[in-house]
Amino acid sequence: MTRIRGSQLRTLLSCAVVMEAALLLIHFARDPAEQVAFVLLSYLVGGVAFGWLLWRLRNADDDTSPRSTIVILVVAGVVFRLTLLPLAPAASQDVQRYLWEGLVQWHGFDPYTLAPTAEELAPLASEYPALWRSINHPDVPAIYPPFAQFLFLCNAAAFDGALLGWKSILLVFDAILAVGVVLLLRKRSLSIVGLAGVLWCPLLLIETYEGGHLDLIGAALMVLAIVAMSRGQPILSAVTLGLAINVKYLWPLLLLIILARQAARQRRCVVFIMVTLVVAGVSWIPYHAGIESALATVRMFAEDWAFNDIIFEQLRRLPGPRWVPMILVLGFLAALASLLAFRRPRDIWCDAWLLSGTALLLSPVAYPWYFLWIVPGLALRPPLWLVVWLLSVPLLHLVDWQYVSTGQWDPMPWLWWIVGAIPAMLLIRAWLQRLRQPERYQAPATLKNHGEA
């Protein structure tokens, strides 16, 4: 046992050194194009180290870990984040939108009714000219749901809309995610080293602390909802899931179907669904004047936005209104969620990421940071499709590198085939394996690794 733990410590230390060197490399960029190039290189080097770490730790099922292991996991995770905090994003302008919409609210305006180019916001644009000029699609009003808007407002109120302030908010939800993962690891008697799956994941680190994307917040709330349900607290689960719906809609709504079935086993299904929907609905009260505008923006996004949508693109060719493909995809995903909810043996944790991965495959838009919603799946015995996809999806930043370098936008649809083909096949295989499982509860002895979340 001592030899195994010594090997584990050496693996962690070696991986930590390589990943930190890869992240430090980004600081040497002299312009945005070079920064995106260094981000890609960091993904390559750090991804190899992280993949090797997952491989070495794949059989770590001892629920007792030495204190030194926990110290290395946490300290290295903190260092990784501190390394990236000073960086401004180069591949995406999403975070500028977050900062702007927080300031808009702080100055008494509604971001759902006023696009950044609105005349009413001209004084604010003059006060923050650099931020205003960097906003992408300035003629489009807000699309992010109310809880995200509330966090943008918090950043404006507490940090005057500073990027570092926003990253501080992300750190809080990052800690919530880590705590949720630890609780699940303990519940399943799995090794604490599984925490490296989220603390050290290059995709989470770079897309969150270099890119500033909010998807980590939704992932953390989803994990908290799963943890609360597993601990027999359906009301807390409903509240956190309702907030997650108001970060981005799709993934939490799919999880709602799975968790509702689990709540039914606790005879709290109706209460769970009602609390979830009430929390999601009440969040809109401060923004009720902009609901119609927000719905119009969401519809525009669903009908016109496209990136890595090879499957969805084929559905767009169907006759009829442009919203039909989205309805078909949502209906199909809801059917899959219902199938998983009623199929035994149930494993909310595994089913959540299986369903979320399928949603990414069928989505009209799948930027690399969208995959942060499935990163938590790396913590508890991750399936092969999940590991391969999360390690390969950063290649999509080649599109951003070309755009920043040349000013020409080319979505490179062929790149999605390289990134997504193998994970898609592995995902289909995972579905077949899941559906072939006998519809009965597994024996208690197997619950250590595969029981209900």
Q: Which of 273-287, 317-331, 422-436 has the lowest mean pLDDT?
A: 317-331
| Residue 6 scores a pLDDT above 80 | no
- C-alpha span between 191 and 174 (Å, rounded): 20
Tens digits of per-residue pLDDT, 182-218? 999 888 888 888 899 999 999 999 999 999 999 999 9
Cβ atoms of 107 and 117 closer than 8 Å: no
Region 262-274: mean pLDDT is: 89
* Alpha-helical runs (H) found in 210-309: 215-230, 234-245, 250-265, 269-282, 291-304
Position 213 scores a pLDDT of 97
| Residue 441 scores a pLDDT above 50 | no
Cβ atoms of 258 and 352 closer than 8 Å: yes
| Residue 356 scores a pLDDT above 80 | yes
Identify the DSSP state of 246: T
Cα–Cα nearest to 208, from 74, 39, 53, 37: 39
Cα–Cα nearest to 424, from 314, 335, 308, 318: 308
Q: What is the band of 141 on the pLDDT scale with cuts at 50, 70, 90?
A: very high
pLDDT > 90: what percent of the chain?
69
pTM of the model: 0.92
Residue 34, Cα to own-chain centre: how many angstroms? Answer: 26
CA neighbours closer than 13 Å in the CB half-sphere of residue 375: 34
Burial 170-207 (b: 16+ CB within 10 A, else e): bbebbebbbebbbbbbebbebbbbbbbbbbbbbbbbbb
Return all residues near 410 (Cβ < 8 A) that are at least 6 apart. Answer: 399, 402, 403
Q: What is the band of 446 on the pLDDT scale with cuts at 50, 70, 90?
A: very low
